[in-house]
Amino acid sequence: MNVTALTQTRELDSRVNDGIHVQLLWCQRDDRLWVSVTDNKQGDRFRVDVRDRARALDVFHHPFGYAAHHGVDTRLAGPDLTVTAPRAL
């Protein structure tokens, strides 16, 4: 990610529990929303793009559920892995 993209990215919400950091992020430049998950204990991370803004908090509160629904093995996920959350589950 370049410096311009970083300066145009806003954290809308964040939480940490048991070493797992979940962030709801928005990019001003292209108006994208995504949830980023970092498991500091396991060293895993992934992100879930949010297409339907009405589902943004659902994805934020249940990112592992959304990832599992789409067949993403979060134990093996690297920093560039992205899954897109559908309009409805």
pLDDT, tens digit (0-9, with 9 covering 90-100), for 13-45:
999 999 999 999 999 999 999 999 999 988 888
CB of 13 within 8 A of CB of 60?
A: yes
- Helix (H) / strand (E) element for 13: namely strand 9-17
Residue type, 49: D
pLDDT of 47 strictly over 90: no
The pair of three-digit structure tokens given for residue 3, joined into one six-digit string: 């410096």
The predicted-structure confidence for 60-75, as pLDDT tens digits, reads as follows 999 999 888 876 667 7
In this prediction the pTM is 0.75
Domain count, the chain: 1
CA dist 45 and 74 (Å) reads 7
Q: Tell me the residue type at 47.
A: R
Full domain range(s) for residue 66: 3-85
